[in-house]
């Protein structure tokens, strides 16, 4: 995204407070999407989520951008499985705002493996129809991603 600074255009980015606010909203909305997906996802949607997790194993240790794209696809599938068009619209706005972040948490060493385990836990809860577990698993997943991003920005974690 671009913003105007006088006569020139600059790339917009998020400051620390905006990032924290965005993750707060994302955590709650994504958790709600997982809870609703546990109630409403069809067997076919669950199978698609499971296959995404299985296919994403091949990406481990690879290009962080490819992992990020796979992650977006996975989360979008959960949004759709919630069967709530208004929630999907709000999450689309959140994810468009996420594009303002300069990098992906998947650039942090080891984050891809942890995230894939978290994805499998989310899918297991959705498949079991356990909305509370799905909500908690997805909230924890987003919280870990935020913490990873903060640690990378603080120089505590190496990136690839």
What tens digit of pLDDT does each residue of 94-130 get? 999 988 776 788 888 889 999 999 999 999 999 999 9
Residue 89 lies in a domain: yes
pLDDT at 15: 85
Q: How many domains does the chain have?
A: 1
- Structure token pair of residue 133: 């577990």
pLDDT at 46 over 70: yes
Share of the chain above pLDDT 90, in %: 71
Residue 5: inside a domain, yes or no? no
Q: For every residue of 20-81, which 3-state class applies, written as one string?
A: HHHHHHHHHHHHHHHHHHHHHCCHHHHHHHHHHHHHHHHHCCCCHHHHHHHHHHHHHHHHHH
pTM for the full predicted model? 0.89
DSSP secondary structure code for residue 101 in this structure: S
Q: What is the CATH number of the domain that holds 142?
A: 1.20.120.530
3 located within any domain: no
Check residues 11 and 80 and name the one with the higher pLDDT: 80
Residue 91 lies in a domain: yes
Q: Determine the pLDDT at residue 11.
A: 47
Q: Over the stretch 3-28, which tens digit does the pLDDT of each residue have? A: 555 565 554 577 889 999 999 999 99
User: E strand or H helix at 113, and its extent?
Assistant: helix 111-127
Q: How sure is the predictor about 36, in pLDDT bands with cuts at 50, 70 and 90?
A: very high
Cα(39)–Cα(139) distance, rounded to whole angstroms? 17
b/e map 64-101, b = 16+ CB within 10 Å: beebbebbeebbebbbbbbbbeebbebbeebbebbeee
Asked if residue 2 is part of any domain, the answer here is no
Most confident region among 39-53, 93-107, 138-152 by mean pLDDT: 39-53
Per the structure, the complete domain to which residue 27 belongs is given by: 15-153
7 belongs to a structural domain = no
What are phi and psi for residue 4, nearest 5 degrees? Answer: -95, 130
């Amino acid at each position: 995204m671009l913003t105007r600074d006088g006569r020139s255009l600059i790339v917009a980015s998020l400051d620390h407070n905006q990032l924290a606010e965005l993750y707060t909203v994302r955590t709650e909305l994504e958790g709600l999407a997982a809870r609703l997906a546990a109630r409403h996802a069809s067997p076919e949607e669950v199978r698609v989520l499971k296959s995404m997790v299985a296919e994403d194993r091949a990406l481990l240790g690879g290009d962080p951008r490819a992992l990020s794209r796979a992650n977006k696809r996975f989360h979008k599938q959960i949004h759709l499985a919630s069967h709530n068009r208004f929630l999907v619209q709000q999450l689309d706005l959140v994810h468009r705002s996420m594009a303002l972040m300069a990098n992906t948490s998947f650039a942090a060493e080891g984050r891809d493996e942890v995230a894939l385990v978290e994805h499998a836990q989310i899918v297991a809860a959705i498949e079991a129809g356990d909305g509370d577990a799905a909500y908690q698993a997805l909230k924890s997943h987003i919280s870990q991603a935020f913490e990873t991003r903060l640690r990378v920005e603080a120089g505590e974690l190496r990136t690839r």
